[in-house]
Amino acid sequence: MTTKEKLLKEELYKEALEFIEKQPGYSRQNLKVMCDEGSWFILYGPDLASGIGGYGETPEAVMNDFKLNWERHKGEEWIKKHQ
């Protein structure tokens, strides 16, 4: 990982963490940010099957995808609770 990627990863983690901390009942302990060969990934939870993830080729794209998936997950939780 290049120095630039490390700095971007730190910034992305901070942005994702700020988003997570605004959500009621969620913890920073479950947040992971990864970069592999120019692809970015955010994971909230122990794994993708039971967590929420986001993918992208840039930090901005991955954060947008993560937020979209987060909202989708919240909607699925609401549907399950109200069926």
CB atoms within 10 A of CB 42: 28
DSSP assignments along 11-35, one per residue: HHHHHHHHHHHTSTT--GGGEEEEE
Q: Per-residue pLDDT for 82 more than 60?
A: no
pLDDT in tens, 54-75: 999 999 999 999 999 999 988 6
Q: What is the reported pLDDT for 75?
A: 66
Q: Where are the domains of the chain?
A: 3-81
